[in-house]
Structures are given as structure tokens and as C-alpha cells.
Amino acid sequence: MLIKKLVSLPSRSGRHLQRYNHGCRLVVGCIPYRYRETKTSPPIHGTLIEELEVLLITSQKSPRMMFPKGGWEIDEDIKLAATRETMEEAGVVGTLGDKLGEWIFKSRSQDTFREGYMFPMLVTEEFDVWPEKNVRQRIWMTVNEAREVCAHSWMKEALDAFCSLIRASANKEKEFP
């Protein structure tokens, strides 16, 4: 119910609630994914990378593609922040998996470093209206297409970590059916 209310509110803005670690702004985001629509449902276990689609969004200021991410604020835990940012920027919610990793990267818009954390999110709902709908586009694509168009190398590394997790899960299922 809380998420339904957040969808109709404007995105949070400003830096007064932002978390920092030794001067690095902390950002969190998700790799939203779903199973490709086919005539037959793909198996939940043993999923191939080719059976997945991931959701990328455009930057607010350019057509560059990326995964949704934004500031982790002091009144949120990390998973709530990742869910909020993904809902605000991409208009989707879902089930978060375990953290894929953390990356230190340089901000393109400012000459400072960021510390980023990414999570996989199995999308369960896609909204027609969301806070940043008027300033972003969202596009579902294959993992390989996403790797080609994603503008940030650290996000491509997060995508690789996600793919490794999916492959490991599929291999574990093969070993122990």
C-alpha cells in the first residue's frame, strides 16, 4: 500500500538526507528483470540468460541508458532506498534479491566519487504513471542488448554479477533437481 502512495508523489530531491561514506555519496539501484513473454512459461529454476529481459531507463538530461539508481537517504535502509529509487525512476516494483556488489565510480556530472550498491529486482508490477515518467523513458531489452547500451561501466559489471548469479542458480538446480 505504501508503494501505491509513493507512485503518485513527486520524487525525493535535494541532498540534505543523503548518506556519505568518507566523502563518497552512497547510491543504490536495481537491475529490474522479468522472464521474457513466450507461449510457454519458462522454468523458474534453470533459467537461461536468454529467457530474461532487463529494464533500462534514460538519463534525465540525455538519451544515455542506465539502470535505475539514486541516493541512499539517512531515513531508509538500503533495500528500501533501492526499491524507492527504482519505483521513482522506472515505475516498477518487485522482489529484491541479495546485493550484487558495491562499486566506487566517478560521477559524470560532478568531479566526485560515488559508492554504488546494486540489487536484482524481479519485477512484479509495472505502473503506467510514476514520479519521473515525464523525464525518463524505460525500455525492456535482452541482457546482451543492455550490455551494449548501458552508459556506465560499473553498471555493466553489476549486470555481469547478476548474470553470474543466474547461471549459478541454474547450475545448482541441475545438480540437485
pLDDT band of 11, cuts 50, 70, 90: low
Are residues 79 and 87 in contact, defined by beta-carbon separation less than 8 angstroms?
A: no
Are residues 29 and 68 in contact, defined by beta-carbon separation less than 8 angstroms?
A: yes
Are residues 85 and 60 in contact, defined by beta-carbon separation less than 8 angstroms?
A: no
pTM for this prediction: 0.84
Whole-angstrom Cα distance, residue 42 to residue 151? Answer: 30
As a whole-number percent, the residues of the chain with pLDDT over 90 amount to 64
pLDDT band of 161, cuts 50, 70, 90: very high
Answer whether residue 10 shows pLDDT above 80.
no
pLDDT band of 5, cuts 50, 70, 90: low
